[in-house]
Amino acid sequence: MTDTKLKIAAGLERAFAKGGFAEPSVDDLREAADVSLRTLYKYTPSRADMVHLALEHRHQRYIDLLFTDLPEAPDRALSAIIDRVGVWMETEASHGCLFHAAVAASPGDQVLRDLLSRHKVEVATKAAIATGRQGYEIELNLILEGLTQSFTLHGAKAIAAAKRLAGGIPTHSNP
């Protein structure tokens, strides 16, 4: 991704995370991206393209936060992933999952549905590999998604509960 496109993606992500998908005007989005209207439309010719680029950027930031420099021990890696989801929720997603919000705002957008699905599958797959729990991607998805949905209600208690539940998933691949 070019520096300009990365700058636009970061600005759009911030704008949509702050104002939702319906509220920010194109001028608000242009201002958040800190580029001219012409440059914004060069890289994202439509509002849908702006949303897609913002979510691609968010996906990569989330993946980087969760899976960079994890402990090698499977149980410690899983605990670290859960803690990092908690950090993400505290700092980046106080209103819940931006991917789900995007699909809710535009339920007929198949590209958004595909982005949501790819995001969730990739997180669960990477978590399974990083923790030696291949074959338990659905269980990991349920725990991590449950954490993102319940964090706004329960905070640190949701993290502790996710760790308790995750402790019941074996580290072998025979579910």
Which residues contact residue 100 at a Cβ distance below 8 angstroms, ignoring those fewer than 6 apart?
116
Number of other residues whose CB lies within 10 A of the CB of residue 90: 13
Single pTM value for the model = 0.92
Q: Find out whether 84 and 103 touch, Cβ atoms under 8 Å.
A: no
- Beta-strand (E) ranges in the chain? none
What would the pLDDT profile of 106-163 be if each residue is shown by its tens digit?
A: 999 999 999 999 999 999 999 999 999 999 999 999 999 999 999 999 999 999 999 9
Alpha carbon of 140 to those of 56, 68, 94, 137: distances in Å?
22, 18, 21, 5
